[in-house]
Homo-oligomer: A and B are copies of this chain.
Amino acid sequence: MHNPLDYSFNEIKIGLEHYFEVSIDEKLEKDFAKISGDFNPLHMDEQYAKETKFGKRVCHGMLLASFFSRLVGMYLPGKNALYFSQNLNFTGPCFIGDTVIVKGKITGKSEATKMIKIETTIRNNAGELLVDGIAQVLVR
């Protein structure tokens, strides 16, 4: 789906939610390593990762964070988004093969600045929290 939603500032209500799922596969992980330039062995080297407490390769936290770009640019508010800030807490590991649920919920809006505040979370299929944070987005 390449056409974003198109909420105006007035249409955004406190409590409005959107979510989508993403399957984390080998290709996505490798493509992100190339784009970011982060080839840390915890992400890339199965043998190395096996000896860490995680027992296997862990996906880049910033790969997960990239899905907040989609959340903001395609859904909340979609077309009229201008990303102002995002904070990120990496709270749990994501592994290749996981399906993650990326979710946003509107928790605030400012008439004066046309800024909306979004509670953003990413969970795995077991419901464990992997990333959370707050996004602030200007609705143009």
Contacts and interface: CB of A to CB of B under 8 A. Distances in A.
A105 interface: no
Given A83-B61, A83-B90, A70 B4 contact: no
User: Taking the full assembly, how many copies of this chain does it contain?
Assistant: 2
Chain A at the B interface: mostly helix, strand, loop or mixed?
mixed
A88 B89 contact: no
A60 B65 CA distance: 12
Interface size class of A (residues with CB under 8 A): 35 or more
Nearest to A41: B79
A81 interface: yes
A85 to B, nearest CB: 5
A19 interface: no
Given A87-B88, A89-B85, A90-B83, A74 B38 contact: yes
A43 interface: yes
Nearest to A78: B40
Contacts of A87: 85-88, 133
Contact of A2 (B32, B39, B86): B39
